[in-house]
Amino acid sequence: GVGFRPFVHRTATRLGLDGWVRNAGGQVIVTAAGPPEALDAFVEQLRGDAPPLARVGRVRVTRLTGRAPDPGSGFAVRDSTPHMDGADGGRDRTARPVPGSTALPPDLVDRAADGEGDDDSVEDVARAGEAAVREIPPDAATCAACLRELFDPADRRHRYPFVNCTDCGPRATVIEDLPYDRERTTMRGFPLCARCAAEYADPADRRFH
């Protein structure tokens, strides 16, 4: 509920990486493929450029065997899953070796063994690691961008009491289960209009989710 998956998507797309990101069992799981220098930059930016409400406690990078995402296939945001069990959802398990150097200090990046000779997926490695703490994100004060919309008579969200985006707004107040997605909040009974749905689906929009 802090806009981390959209942030990962934007960062990977900007760096020309292929792959996917999803929430699963209190963790953010990423498969990324691309040039070594782009992958190094990607790992560094995951920690240093995270969204305002995000807290990155640990970045674990693991080399995995298996078929990498097809070059030029792009980067996708996959559906969230509440638990690690069955996190694949029947999709291909894809992986790509990640380079061993990084500018991040060792206490922030944990790089596992290469994994040569095994068939572990990203979810297998995450499941075998430490159990992630599933935190309910707190409510956050309305951000400056939403305040501008709220008080702009020309904006369609003018005086809209539920104005929010991935950087602000209610979380603990409306959430019913993790990971935070609209269908697991009290807002699920209020379908998005076409214009709002378009914003949610636009990677360039701050409400992309």
Beta bridge partners of 61: 111
Per-residue pLDDT, 65: 67
Record the pTM: 0.63
pLDDT average, residue stretch 20-44: 88
With CA atoms as reference, report the closest residue to 31 among 104, 111, 92, 72. Answer: 92
The residue type at 145: A
Among the ranges 97-101, 120-124, 199-203, which has the highest mean pLDDT value?
199-203
pLDDT per residue as tens digits for the range 149-166? 999 999 999 999 999 998
123 exposure class (CB count in 10 Å sphere: 0-12, 13-18, 19+): buried
Coil, strand or helix at 33? strand
Q: How far does CA 36 lie from the centroid of its chain?
A: 21
Per-residue pLDDT, 135: 75
Confidence of residue 131 (pLDDT cuts 50, 70, 90): low
Q: Is the pLDDT of residue 88 over 70?
A: no
Q: Is the peptide bond before 35 cis (omega within 30 degrees of 0)?
A: no
Tokens of 164: 């929010």
Top-confidence residue, 113 or 45: 45
Q: Where are the alpha helices (DSSP H) in the chain?
A: 4-14, 36-48, 122-128, 144-150, 194-200
Angle at 42 between CA 209 and CA 111, to 5 degrees: 110
Contact between residue 20 and residue 69 where contact means Cβ atoms under 8 Å apart: yes
Domains along the sequence of the chain with CATH: 4-128 (3.30.70.100), 144-200 (no CATH)
